[in-house]
Amino acid sequence: MMLTAALAVLAALAASAPSAASERLAFADEFDTLDDNKWGHMVSAWRGGNNEFQYYRNDRRNSYVRDGILYLLPTLTADEYGEDFLYHGKLSYPGCNKEPCESQSGEEIVLPVQSARISTSTQFSFRYGRLEVRARLPRGDWLWPAIWLYPQNEIYGGWPRSGEIDLMESRGNPDLVDDKGVNVGLKAVSSTLHFGPAWNINGYPTTNYRNRLFDNLTLADDFHVYTLDWSEKGFRFLVDGHLIGERPAPEGGFWKLGGFAGEDIWKGKAMAPFDQEFYIIMNVAVGGSFFGDLKNSPHPRPYDLSSGHAMRQFWEKKDWWKDTWQGERAALQVDYVRVYQA
C-alpha cells in the first residue's frame, strides 16, 4: 500500500512538471488564499447564452479557500432570502460588472441559485503554453462546472469570431445518458473549441472531444489533472495524462475546417482565431440548455426552456434534485492552476 501511494505521488509530480527544460512557470496559484491579485469575480444576473439559473456574485459562501483548496459552491437563494422572495423579490448586488445586474420576479422567479465565476481577465492572459488544473468536480443534478479560456481582446470580433477554448466541461448528474445509453454525466468530460462567423454559426462540432473515463467511479470521487497543450501547431486535451482529444492546426485554417461560406474572416491563418491571448475562467453554472434532451435517472429534467418559466419549474420540482446537492460535494474544488510557457 505504501509503495502504491509513493508511486502515485511520483506520478502526480511528474504530471505537473514542465515537459521541457526550456519551459517556465508563467502563472500559478496553489490556493493558500483567494488572491484578488490573480482572480476577479463576475457579479451579474446574466444567464449566459444557455439561459442558466444562477446569479454569479462575490461572496465567501460561494467562493472560498480552505486547506489549500478553492471551492466554487452553488447555494440556494431561498436559503438566504426565503422562498417567498423568489416569487415577490428583486435581487442585485454591489459591484455588478456585467448587465443585467438585477433579477426580479414576474412571469419568472428570481434566480434560484447563487454561484461563483472567477477569471484572470484583468490579471493574466497568455498565448500558447500548457495549462494544468487539478480539480475535483461537483456532484449534483443539473450542475455544470467549467474550466475554460476566453480571448482577452476579441481581435476578430464578438463570440465566436474570436474563439473560445473549453478545457473541461461536465455535468454533475451521476446517471445522465444520451440517446444511445452512454453516460454523459459525471463519468464523462468534454473539451471543445468554439469558432465561427456568428453566434448561430459555430464550428464546434468538428472540435468537440468527449470521453467517458470511468465505469464505476465518477469525476467527483477524486481530484484529476486537466491539461491543455496549446501551440502554433495545434491543441491537445488530456486528463491525468490520457489524451482526450487532439486538433492539429488545420490545413487552410479553422474557416475551412468549419466549412463556412463567404470570406474567411481569419484570412487563412492556420491558428486563427486561436492566435491571440486568452484568459482563464472557472465557474459552476446551473441548468439551462446545456443539458438538452438527455435522459436523467431517477427523475427527468425538471424544466422546459420553451415554457417561459423554466426556473419556476426547476424550483417547484426541487424535490427531484435538491438532495443530490450534498454540501461541499456540490462544489468545484481546485487544488492548483498552473501555466507553463516556453
Mean pLDDT within 265-269: 96
Are 11 and 64 spatial neighbours (Cβ–Cβ below 8 Å)?
no
Burial tier of 310 (Cβ tally within 10 Å: 0-12, 13-18, 19+): buried
**Residue 7 pLDDT greater than 60, yes or no:** no
pLDDT, tens digit, for every residue of 245-261? Answer: 999 999 999 999 999 99
Mean pLDDT within 27-42: 99
For 281-293, the DSSP string reads EEEEEESSGGGTT
Q: Percent of the chain beyond pLDDT 90? A: 91
Per-residue confidence band for 240, with pLDDT thresholds at 50, 70 and 90: very high
For residue 217, what pLDDT is reported?
87
Position with higher pLDDT, 233 vs 3 = 233
For residue 275, what pLDDT is reported?
99
**Residue 18 pLDDT greater than 80, yes or no:** no
For residue 216, what pLDDT is reported?
78
pLDDT, tens digit, for every residue of 302-318? Answer: 999 999 999 999 999 99
Per-residue confidence band for 324, with pLDDT thresholds at 50, 70 and 90: very high
Distance CA 168, CA 51 (A): 20
**Residue 9 pLDDT greater than 50, yes or no:** no
Distance CA 12, CA 267 (A): 41
Mean pLDDT within 230-238: 98
Which has the closest alpha carbon to 142: 318, 282, 334? 318
Distance CA 168, CA 145 (A): 8
**Residue 213 pLDDT greater than 90, yes or no:** no
pTM of the predicted model, to two decimals?
0.93
For residue 11, what pLDDT is reported?
42
Are 34 and 337 spatial neighbours (Cβ–Cβ below 8 Å)?
no
**Residue 8 pLDDT greater than 50, yes or no:** no
Amino acid at 97: N
For residue 21, what pLDDT is reported?
64
Q: Can you list the positions of beta strands (E) in 174-331?
A: 176-177, 188-194, 208-212, 224-231, 234-239, 242-248, 278-286, 295-296
Amino acid at 255: W
Mean pLDDT within 147-167: 99
pLDDT, tens digit, for every residue of 119-144? Answer: 999 999 999 999 999 999 999 999 99
For residue 15, what pLDDT is reported?
45
For residue 17, what pLDDT is reported?
46
Mean pLDDT within 169-194: 96
Question: Which residue's entry shows cell 490520457?
Answer: 242
Distance CA 168, CA 182 (A): 18
C-alpha cell belonging to residue 167 = 478545457
For residue 3, what pLDDT is reported?
32
**What is the length of the chain?**
342
For residue 1, what pLDDT is reported?
39
How many C-beta atoms lie closer than 10 Å to residue 155's C-beta? Answer: 14
How many C-beta atoms lie closer than 10 Å to residue 180's C-beta? Answer: 6
Per-residue confidence band for 22, with pLDDT thresholds at 50, 70 and 90: confident
